[in-house]
């Protein structure tokens, strides 16, 4: 099925190529220009007098090289990167759905009301199904708010979605405590004696709603709040946040195994205890607060379009 879907996607891509707007390459490595401007600006700022610093607004204003016209592009890219940096903690916890939550489901009853069993790998697809169903709802929900004069900017949407993801993992920690208690009390290896896997539905719904408010909105944010020349680089940094989140998880798990901390999981790592879920939740909540504060007090939208709302700010 995967191969068939990929083939269909390839056919659509080829067929639609004639309708794409193809921008020819500029013939220069734009990220290197950003690095040169950034390093040059810092050097000039350090060597500048206090009077020169007071006359120029911001560090980038001290750049005097040949690419001075690229300063604004560099500033917007740097501003967008700093705004989305906490999102790596969102992806850090989000991706536990394919690890910790699958392990949790393995300790639950896979039967759906006694009618049929749903395998672990299949039950995880509830996330993809929910996202497909929810995205059209959200595309109509935001304009609906706009018509009623409610300002719900793109960073506010992402902040709320981030928080819902944190709540989903706290809920999963509570479920994990109940799951382990039932497994221990039943004294049986038959999964039909365990808690029903459907108890995972609330956490999957919260996670999916959070994803709908963070992932597509983040892509729009990184596109709309940078200059035209650096939109591809900005989108690549958005994808990099997911990689950094997984790197944090890998480092944390490696350190956990090395420490032999049995308060978070079994020595062999087969069962994670609720405390581990709460540690991840606390880390994600810290990222959520960081994101909210930076969005509210530091970041400035490129323009009104960048905020994805036309309602005037009160």
The tally of domains found in the chain comes to 1
Residue 181 half-sphere exposure, CB side, CA atoms within 13 Å?
A: 7
| Cβ 249 vs Cβ 92: under 8 Å | yes
| Cβ 67 vs Cβ 29: under 8 Å | no
Q: Does the pLDDT value for residue 290 go beyond 80?
A: yes
Terminal CA-CA length for the chain = 51
Q: Is residue 83 part of a domain?
A: yes
Q: Is residue 232 part of a domain?
A: yes
Q: Report the CATH number at residue 238.
A: 1.20.1250.20
Segment 172-212, tens digit of pLDDT: 999 999 999 998 888 888 888 999 999 999 999 999 999 99
Query: CB-based contacts of 261: which residues, under 8 Å, 6+ apart?
Result: none
Q: Is residue 4 part of a domain?
A: no
Q: Is residue 25 part of a domain?
A: no
pLDDT > 90 in the chain, percent: 53
Give pLDDT, residue 41.
Answer: 85
Range of the domain at 129: 74-307
Query: CB-based contacts of 130: which residues, under 8 Å, 6+ apart?
Result: 204, 205, 208, 209
Q: What angle do CA 155, 161, 163 make, to 5 degrees?
A: 105
Its pTM surpasses 0.95: no
Give pLDDT, residue 297.
Answer: 93
Give pLDDT, residue 155.
Answer: 94
Q: Is residue 30 part of a domain?
A: no
Q: Is residue 24 part of a domain?
A: no
Segment 123-140, tens digit of pLDDT: 888 999 999 999 999 999
Give pLDDT, residue 29.
Answer: 83
Q: Is residue 67 part of a domain?
A: no
Q: Does the pLDDT value for residue 256 go beyond 90?
A: no
Q: What angle do CA 269, 273, 274 make, to 5 degrees?
A: 145
Q: Is residue 54 part of a domain?
A: no
Please provide the DSSP assignment of 107-152 as one string. TSB-EETTTEE--HHHHTTHHHHHHHHHHHHHHHHHHHHHHTT---
Task: Give the Å distances, CA to CA, from 81 to 11, 157, 215, 239.
Answer: 34, 18, 15, 11
Q: Does the pLDDT value for residue 308 go beyond 60?
A: yes
């Amino acid at each position: 099925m995967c191969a068939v879907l990929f083939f269909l996607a390839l056919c659509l891509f080829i067929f639609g190529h004639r309708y794409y707007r193809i921008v020819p390459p500029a013939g220069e490595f734009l990220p290197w220009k950003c690095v040169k401007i950034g390093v040059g600006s810092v050097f000039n700022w350090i060597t500048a007098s206090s009077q020169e610093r007071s006359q120029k607004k911001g560090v980038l204003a001290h750049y005097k090289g040949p690419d001075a016209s690229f300063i604004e592009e560099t500033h917007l890219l740097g501003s967008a990167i700093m705004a989305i940096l906490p999102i790596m903690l969102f992806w850090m916890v989000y991706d536990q759905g394919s690890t910790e939550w699958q392990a949790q489901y393995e300790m639950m009853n896979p039967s759906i009301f006694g009618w049929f069993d749903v395998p672990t790998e299949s039950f995880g697809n509830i996330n993809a199904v929910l996202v497909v169903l929810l995205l059209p709802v959200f595309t109509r929900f935001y304009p609906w708010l706009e018509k009623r004069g409610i300002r719900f900017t793109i960073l506010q949407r992402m902040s709320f979605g981030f928080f819902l993801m944190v709540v989903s993992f706290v809920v999963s920690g509570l479920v994990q405590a109940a799951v382990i208690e039932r497994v221990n009390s039943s004294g049986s290896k038959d999964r039909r004696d365990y808690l029903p896997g459907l108890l995972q539905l609330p956490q999957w719904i919260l996670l999916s709603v959070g994803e709908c408010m963070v992932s597509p909105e983040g892509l729009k944010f990184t596109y709309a709040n940078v200059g035209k020349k650096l939109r591809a680089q900005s989108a690549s940094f958005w994808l990099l946040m997911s990689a950094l989140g997984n790197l944090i998880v890998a480092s944390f798990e490696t350190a956990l195994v090395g420490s032999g901390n049995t308060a978070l999981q079994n020595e062999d790592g087969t069962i994670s205890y609720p405390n581990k879920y709460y540690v991840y939740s606390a880390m994600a909540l810290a990222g959520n607060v960081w994101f909210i504060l930076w969005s509210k007090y530091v970041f400035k939208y490129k323009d009104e379009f960048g905020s994805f709302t036309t309602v005037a700010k009160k």
